[in-house]
């Protein structure tokens, strides 16, 4: 049986792709690996408060996205550690807040701002993060 040379190239390419596919390893994320964040009471409170506001506006509930929570948390940490209060370069609509000392106060502040409120009502997934450092509170929400 002979294979035309163009098919040999295609088959060789496919074989190479199979060889370079990532192999599951210890570094792969395990189920529940980031529960410390997504199940944290403050993150759950942010989700509950956002979903209550969305329900008042006839919107479906958000679900937490672990990757988005990790990114939001990383940005909250960065703001607290550097003292810079600014938006990130994350690829999702984002709301941030510095100052409020509770999840409820942060969400109420976002609700009071038409621009932030409209972002709260977008998407179906969200990620939240917050950080407290030296008595300063930083809050982050991202949506898709």
Q: Is 80 inside a domain boundary?
A: yes
CB-based burial label for 103 (10 Å; 0-12, 13-18, 19+): buried
- Rounded CA separation 141/88 (Å): 11
Q: Is 76 inside a domain boundary?
A: yes
Residue 35's pLDDT band, with cuts at 50, 70 and 90, is confident
Phi, psi of 4 (to 5 degrees): -60, 150
- Rounded CA separation 95/119 (Å): 7
Q: Is 21 inside a domain boundary?
A: no
- Rounded CA separation 126/64 (Å): 5
Strand order in the sheet with 63-64: 63-64, 125-133, 136-143, 94-98
- Rounded CA separation 60/135 (Å): 35
Confirm if 129 and 92 have CB atoms less than 8 A apart.
no
Q: Is 51 inside a domain boundary?
A: yes
- Does the pTM surpass 0.75? The reply is yes
Coil/strand/helix, residue 120? helix
pLDDT in tens, 49-90: 999 999 999 999 999 999 999 999 999 999 999 999 999 989
Q: What residue spans of 21-142 are helical by DSSP H?
A: 35-38, 41-56, 66-82, 103-112, 114-120
Q: Is the pLDDT of residue 98 over 70?
A: yes
pLDDT value, residue 87 = 94
What domain range is 61 assigned to?
Answer: 35-90+130-143
Residue 36's pLDDT band, with cuts at 50, 70 and 90, is confident
**Which position has the token pair 């917050």?**
130
Q: Give the chain's domain count.
A: 1
- Rounded CA separation 71/76 (Å): 9
Q: Is 26 inside a domain boundary?
A: no
């Amino acid at each position: 049986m002979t294979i035309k040379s163009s098919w040999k190239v295609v088959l060789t390419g496919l074989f190479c792709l199979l060889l370079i596919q990532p192999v599951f390893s210890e570094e792969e994320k395990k189920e529940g690996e980031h529960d410390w964040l997504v199940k944290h009471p403050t993150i759950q409170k942010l989700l509950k408060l956002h979903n209550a506001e969305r329900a008042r506006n006839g919107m479906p509930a958000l679900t937490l996205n672990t990757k988005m929570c990790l990114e939001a948390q990383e940005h909250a940490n960065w703001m607290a550690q550097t003292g810079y209060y600014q938006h990130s370069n994350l690829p999702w609509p984002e709301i941030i807040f510095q100052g409020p000392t509770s999840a409820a106060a942060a969400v109420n502040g976002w609700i009071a701002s038409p621009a932030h409120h409209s972002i709260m009502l977008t998407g179906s997934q969200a990620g939240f993060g917050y950080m407290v450092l030296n008595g300063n509170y930083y809050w982050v929400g991202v949506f898709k």
